[in-house]
Chain A
Amino acid sequence: MARIAVIGIGNVLTGDDAVGPYVVKVLEAGWELPQEVELLDAGTPGLDLTAYLAGLEAVVIVDAIKARGAPGELRVYDKEALLRKSPILAVSPHEPGVREAILNADFMGVVPPTVRLVGVIPQSVELGCALSPPVQAAVPQAVERVLAELGALGATARPRVPPLVPDLWWERKPA
Chain B
Amino acid sequence: MGKLITIDPVTRIEGHLRIDVEVDGGAVKNAWSSGTMWRGIETILQGRDPRDAWTFTQRICGVCTTVHALASVRSVENALGLEIPLNAQLIRNLIITTHALHDHIVHFYHLSALDWVDVTSALKADPAKASQLAESISSWPGNSRHQLEAVKAKLEGFVKAGQMGIFSHGYWGHPAMKLPPEVNLLAVAHYLQALDIQRKANQAVAILGSKTPNIQNLAVGGVANAINLDSPSTLNMEKLFQVKTLIDEVVTFVQQCYLPDVAAVAGFYPDWFKYGAGVTNYLAVPDLPTDEKMTKFDLPGGVIWNGELKVAHDIKTWNDDYLKQNVTESIAHAYYDGNWAKGPWDEETAPKFTGEWKHETPAPDRYSWVKAPRLEGKPAQVGPLAQILVGFISGHEPTVRWTKAALAAVKAVHKIDLQPAQLHSTLGRHAARAIRCAMLGELAQKHWKLLVENIGKGDTRIWVDPMANLKPGIYKGVGFHEAPRGTLSHWTVIESDGKSMKLKNYQAVVPSTWNAGPRDDKGVLGPYEKSLVGNPIADPKLPLEALRTIHSFDPCLACAIHTVDAEGEEIARVKVL
Contacts and interface: CB of A to CB of B under 8 A. Distances in A.
A47 B213 contact: no
A44 interface: yes
A95 interface: yes
B110 A127 contact: no
A164 interface: no
A124 B236 CA distance: 45
B11 A51 contact: no
A107 B165 contact: yes
Interface stretch (B40-48, B71-79, B442-450): B40-48
B327 interface: no
Interface in A40-60: 41-48, 50-51, 54
A174 B13 contact: no
Given A13-B40, A100-B166, A44 B13 contact: yes
A162 interface: no
Nearest to B576: A96
A1 to B, nearest CB: 12
Given A43-B214, A45-B62, A103-B166, A51 B43 contact: no
Interface in A72-105: 93-96, 100, 103-104
B56 to A, nearest CB: 7
Contacts of A150: none
Nearest to B557: A46
Nearest to B577: A96
B11 A93 contact: yes
Contacts of A104: 110, 166, 195
Interface string B492-515: 000000001010000000000000
Given A45-B63, A48-B213, A108-B192, A127 B106 contact: no
A127 B40 contact: yes
A93 B214 CA distance: 20
B199 interface: yes
Given A45-B213, A93-B13, A169 B111 contact: no
A13 B49 CA distance: 17
Contacts, number: 91
Interface string A106-133: 1110000000000000000101010000
Nearest to B47: A174
Given A94-B11, A169-B55, A174 B214 contact: no
A43 B59 contact: yes
A37 interface: no
In the complex, which range does the number of interface residues on chain B fall in?
A: 35 or more
A95 to B, nearest CB: 7
Contacts of A125: 12
Given A13-B59, A100-B166, A129 B44 contact: yes
Nearest to A106: B165
Q: Which of B56, B59, B61, B500 has the most CB of A within 10 A?
A: B59
Q: Which of A13, A170, A175 has the most CB of B within 10 A?
A: A13
A47 B106 contact: yes
Contact of A108 (B11, B65, B106, B195): B195
Interface string B199-229: 1001000000000111000000000000000
A107 B44 contact: no
Nearest to A93: B12
Contacts of A44: 13-14, 61-63
Contacts of A54: 199
A106 B111 CA distance: 17
Given A47-B110, A93-B13, A104-B110, A13 B60 contact: yes
Contacts of B110: 47, 104
B539 interface: no
B165 A50 contact: no
A43 B154 contact: no
7 contacts: A13-B40, A43-B62, A48-B212, A96-B11, A100-B577, A127-B40, A175-B49
Across chains A and B, which 6 residue pairs bring their CB atoms closest together, nearest first? A44-B62, A174-B47, A103-B166, A127-B40, A43-B62, A174-B48
Interface of B: 10-14, 40-41, 43-44, 46-49, 55-56, 59-63, 65, 106, 110-111, 154, 165-166, 192, 195-196, 198-199, 202, 212-214, 500, 502, 556, 558, 577
Interface of A: 11-14, 41-48, 50-51, 54, 93-96, 100, 103-104, 106-108, 125, 127, 129, 169-170, 174-175
